[in-house]
Amino acid sequence: MPKQASTKTSSGTDRVIGRLLAVAENLTWTWHEPAQRPFAMLDPIAWETTNHAPIETMLQTSRARIEAVAGDPNFLQVLNEAERTLAKAGSQPKWFNKNHRGRDRKLKVAYYCSEFAIHESMQQYSGGLGVLAGDHLKSAEDLGVPMVGVGLLYQHGYYRQHFEQDGSQRVLYPQYDFDCYPIEETGITVSCPIGTRTVIARVMCMHVGSTPILLLDANLPENRKEDRKLTEGLYKGDADLRMRQQVLLGVGGAMAVEAADLGVTVHHLNEGHAAFAAMERVARLVEQGHDLADAMATVRETTVFTTHTPVPAGHDRYDPAAVRRVIGKVIRRAGIAPSTFVDFGRERPGDRQESFCMTVLALRFANHVNGVAKLHGEVSRDMWVGAFPELDQPKDVPIGSVTNGVHPGTWMDPAAQAFWIRHIKLDQSMQTPEQPQWKKAAKVDATKAWELRNLLRARLVRFVRERSVRQAVANGAGPDEVLAAGQVLQEDALTICFARRFATYKRAPLVFRDTKRLAKILNNPEHPVQLIFAGKAHPRDAEGQAFAQKIFKMSRRPEFIGKVVVLDEYDMRVGRELTSGADVWLNTPIRPHEASGTSGMKPPMHLGVNCSILDGWWPEGFDGKNGFAIVGSPSRSGAAARDQADAEALYAVLEDELIPEFFSRNRKGLPTRWMKRALRSAATVPGAFSTHRMVGDYVDQAYLPAHRNKPAK
């Protein structure tokens, strides 16, 4: 009997482990909160220390604990609910199938990107491009748009950030154990020609529900050491390494798509990093017997290209001779002369002084091109008019726009989601590009909305205190400093957040331009205001790192201690906490250098408002009543005058409009005018700026038109 009981216990434990793994390997758990509960319940400490990684949490949990929960009815009920939640999400009727018939149903999009942000526990992203890519695939899954992601699998992702006591940035490169990832072997390998060598890459797969992401891994023993580095890290190394990475992403990615035999009909290049995919596709069609001109036309007709960079310096450019070397085998298969190929990447074909540009190559081989906001579309048409010498005016340049969005399920806090379900009947059972329920938010009871706002802000303050204590301990702080770190910020203060890459054009330190004026704003005891910053600078971006260090040092000045906080290791988890807890989301880029920006689209779901330069998506989102616009008017030309004017405009908005409105309360302590603005923010932003709407736009404006021009057989 004891032996039989032991066998039964072991069998039950193994079944529970199998069920947990099945949940963990379906990445829709990342935006369905009930599917996360079993892992948090299994081992709350491991769940936190692993940054909410299900498989790693399981590996850190003792066998005795797993055996205990396997016989716990409460745990099994939670696990049952997790399984039901994911099953319901997968079996729900999908928008795409309900609204598209016939040959359109056979659409299948391969979506190439150098980074994918699916969850903070899988550090395969650096910033906005990866977050956008992850949100894109998640909305495709929700809407039922057939898609497969294509990227690279990085051994240590981007990097982990730690601020030293002087504010300098320490760069940490962890080595990830892919056994802890919800990733599987496909059994597919590709042989990607890069220069004179052939690089072998295995194709791994992650499953976002029914939407796979194919990730190439070159860290294999059969490759040379320098080739194994191709998938070592994201945006590492010199220009030559990055160029060879892009051959692997484009050429190797196209090979992986072909080998997986998924019936892909449209190829979407998200930024120019994967532009070499076009060359591999042309070469394959030529090898199948098609005329070169027809093969090139077919590739153009079935390629979608999204450009994200509104400044010329941000586009990858390489020495033409180096490009010819790394892509030589591919273009020989296509029958393209090296000089002809190099001209594909030049705005001025035949100009030997011009470098090779990946964006221009993508423009030459995509008939469906877009920027990521209306303003960015205009900027892109002006920027690339030289690539279309046959056109007279920038307005004729064939670059449109599809404004970015954010994935509602990923970024909406569960408490906010419950609030909107209760008050505006937000229906998430049938996902559609349009979400008209949000328009009802303007009429929600302001008192109830204020209660939610206070709850989310208080939770953010607690989160920041916990992180600040951890940072202080990590820097060897003494007891007094650790205690002070645990007391930063106030739960009832107006909370302004700035979180994004510390790229110089985003001007994170702009609010500190007049420190005396800012100190007066932050130290008003009747109107308490506080600032929270987070962000990463590229390890080789000295100016960006200097910006981060400047803000860090400002936070240590006596007049700002406890009122200005800088968090390290800005990732999706930190982003969710800040965007849900912020009263105000601050954005101060140099116009028009912000292509779109998406972080500001997230606070309105939580009754936060934007205060931003009219750049990126904000000119489309701002209606005069749902946030604040920063409009500087420099009296003279030059960067210093521009920055001074924008800073003056920011201070004026804070002092004359924003702060007085937030602290103007009725007899019951309700900021009636502020909540009217916050509710209008919720009514006007989330529905219009979701990736559901964005993916619907891509389907109508790009994917289906490209699909209807299928590749030659």
For 634-676, how does the pLDDT look when each residue is reduced to its tens digit (9 = 90+)? 888 999 999 999 999 999 999 999 999 999 999 999 999 999 9
Long-range residue pairs from 215-223, CB within 8 A, at least 24 positions apart, any chain: 215/124, 215/151, 215/152, 215/153, 215/183, 216/151, 216/152, 216/153, 216/190, 216/248, 216/249, 216/252, 216/253, 216/256, 217/152, 217/153, 218/248, 219/155, 223/199
Is residue 345, in this structure, part of any structural domain at all?
yes
In one letter, which amino acid is 514?
Answer: D
Report the SS3 class of residue 418.
helix
User: Is the pLDDT assigned to residue 8 strictly greater than 90?
Assistant: no
Is residue 432, in this structure, part of any structural domain at all?
no
In Å, how far are 29, 36, 589 from 32, measured between CA atoms?
Answer: 5, 7, 33
Q: What is the pLDDT of residues 130-186, one digit of tens each?
A: 999 999 999 999 999 999 999 999 999 898 888 888 888 888 888 899 999 999 999
In Å, how far are 171, 231, 327, 488 from 237, measured between CA atoms?
Answer: 14, 11, 19, 38
In Å, how far are 210, 382, 415 from 236, measured between CA atoms?
Answer: 32, 31, 39
Q: What is the CATH number of the domain that holds 236?
A: 3.40.50.2000
Cα 79 → chain centroid:
29
Cβ-contact 106, 263 below 8 angstroms: yes
Report the SS3 class of residue 368.
strand
In terms of Cβ atoms closer than 10 Å to its own Cβ (0-12, 13-18, 19+), residue 526 is exposed
Same structural domain, 615 and 467: yes
H-state helical runs in 111-237: 128-143, 225-228
Is residue 363, in this structure, part of any structural domain at all?
yes
Same structural domain, 338 and 476: no
Q: What is the pLDDT of residues 263-290, one digit of tens each?
A: 999 999 999 999 999 999 999 999 999 9
Provide the pLDDT for residue 310: 92
Same structural domain, 263 and 357: yes
d(CA 460, CA 449): 17
Kindly tell me the sign of the dihedral angle through the C-alpha atoms of 290, 291, 292, 293. Answer: negative
Same structural domain, 565 and 680: yes
State how beta strands 184-194 and 400-401 pair.
Answer: unpaired
What is the average per-residue pLDDT within 89-107?
94
Is residue 292, in this structure, part of any structural domain at all?
yes
Q: What is the pLDDT of residues 249-260, one digit of tens each?
A: 999 999 999 999
Same structural domain, 202 and 305: yes
- Count the domains in the chain: 3
Q: What is the largest CA-CA distance in the chain?
A: 90
Provide the pLDDT for residue 712: 46
Is residue 596, in this structure, part of any structural domain at all?
yes
Same structural domain, 395 and 340: yes
Same structural domain, 71 and 162: no
Same structural domain, 377 and 452: no
Q: Kindly state the tokens that stand for 564.
A: 């200005």
Report the SS3 class of residue 285.
helix
H-state helical runs in 475-610: 479-485, 515-522, 542-555, 572-581
pLDDT band for 9, please (50, 70, 90 cuts): low
Q: What is the pLDDT of residues 455-472, one digit of tens each?
A: 999 999 999 999 999 999
Same structural domain, 586 and 655: yes
Q: What is the pLDDT of residues 192-211, one digit of tens each?
A: 999 999 999 999 999 999 99
Q: Which residues contact 707 (CB under 8 A, 6 or more apart)?
A: 103, 104, 106, 107, 265, 266, 302
Q: What is the pLDDT of residues 602-625, one digit of tens each?
A: 999 999 999 999 999 999 999 999
Provide the pLDDT for residue 665: 97
Is residue 431, in this structure, part of any structural domain at all?
no
What is the average per-residue pLDDT within 352-372?
97
Average pLDDT, the chain: 95
Is residue 430, in this structure, part of any structural domain at all?
no
d(CA 663, CA 76): 47
Same structural domain, 387 and 519: no
Q: What angle do CA 387, 389, 395 make, to 5 degrees?
A: 80
pLDDT band for 1, please (50, 70, 90 cuts): very low
Cβ-contact 143, 454 below 8 angstroms: no
Domain with 6, as residue range(s), is 2-88
Q: What is the pLDDT of residues 315-360, one digit of tens each?
A: 999 999 999 999 999 999 999 999 999 999 999 999 999 999 999 9
pLDDT band for 4, please (50, 70, 90 cuts): very low
Same structural domain, 199 and 119: yes
pTM for this structure? 0.96
Is residue 434, in this structure, part of any structural domain at all?
no
Same structural domain, 138 and 276: yes
Can you give the length of the chain in residues?
713
Domain boundary at 33, 55, 88, which?
88
d(CA 88, CA 254): 33
pLDDT band for 5, please (50, 70, 90 cuts): very low
Backbone dihedral region for residue 389 (phi beyond 0: left; psi -120 to 50: alpha; all else: beta):
alpha
pLDDT band for 387, please (50, 70, 90 cuts): very high
